Copies of this chain bind each other. A is one copy, B any other.
């Protein structure tokens, strides 16, 4: 973020997304926020990030509308950082990363945290790509329409 060259205007949503949350710390902060972390020091000690960096990241994410600050829920004098609706929209990105890592980055016997259905406790299903009508698609069944979003 705040990098020399921005791909914000590249017309590719992937590039624009990475322009906003594509640095190494942001998604980890967001992941922690999904796990219920709200306070500065919780983020700091949990991530092992330098305080200055964390302050910068929290400010950036807030400016970009992914986090917002709220008065402390426990009545203390400090702010809490919570995900906005826009921020919560990143949940599927986190899940996709998690599922890929589970399938390709772990040995079967390795211990890891697991995302489960809150009620049943059963693991959630693999994300699937579907057509508008609900057919399951592979990557090779898709194609990218370059900028053909004509001026309606």
A residues adjacent to B (C-beta < 8 A): 3, 5, 7, 11-18, 20, 22-24, 27-28, 31, 34-35, 46, 48, 65, 86, 88-106, 109-125, 127-134, 137, 139-152
Known: A96-B127, A120-B132. 11 other contacts (CB 8 A): A7-B28, A11-B111, A17-B98, A18-B97, A22-B27, A23-B24, A89-B103, A111-B149, A116-B142, A117-B131, A124-B129
Partner of A27, one of B14, B122, B143, B148: B14
Q: Closest residue of chain B to A118, judged by CB?
A: B143
| Pair A111/B150 contact, Cβ less than 8 Å | yes
Number of copies: 2
Q: A89-B104, A131-B120 are in contact. Are A13 and B113 (CB under 8 A)?
A: yes
Q: Closest residue of chain B to A66, judged by CB?
A: B104
Q: A89-B103, A92-B99, A127-B92 are in contact. Are A112 and B34 (CB under 8 A)?
A: no
Tell me the bound Cα distance from A102 to B130 in angstroms.
17
Q: A24-B18, A24-B22 are in contact. Are A13 and B88 (CB under 8 A)?
A: no
Tell me the bound Cα distance from A120 to B134 in angstroms.
13
Tell me the bound Cα distance from A121 to B142 in angstroms.
8
Q: Closest residue of chain B to A91, judged by CB?
A: B139
Tell me the bound Cα distance from A53 to B115 in angstroms.
35
| Pair A112/B28 contact, Cβ less than 8 Å | no
